Amino acid sequence: MPAAIEHYIGVYRHQSCGMFTVEGQKQKVEEAEQMLSQRRELIAKYRNSVEEITKSEL
């Protein structure tokens, strides 16, 4: 199952279980921070790849 689908299923489960507590909100923030970090890493890798390709073409 793709990670995005698993994420949304997890979010649904948290919401349906009443995870609107402080701990539940902290967990959501931690998950969002992890996803943001992963996106930043992927963007940096993509940028480096594009730079390498453009340099090799010159």
Cα 3–chain centre separation: 9
Q: Give me the pLDDT at residue 12, please.
A: 60
> What is the rounded distance in angstroms from the CA atom of residue 40 to the CA atom of residue 43?
5
Q: What is the longest distance spanned by two Cα atoms in the chain?
A: 57
Q: Give me the pLDDT at residue 24, please.
A: 83
Q: For the packed helices 3-16 and 22-57, what is the interaxial angle rounded to 10 degrees?
A: 170
CB–CB of 13/21 below 8 Å? no
pLDDT tens-digit map of 10-56:
666 655 555 568 888 888 999 999 999 999 999 999 999 999 999 98
This prediction's pTM: 0.57
Question: Domain map of the chain by residue range?
Answer: 21-58
Between residues 9 and 49, the one the model is more confident about:
49
Would the pLDDT of 5 be above 90? no
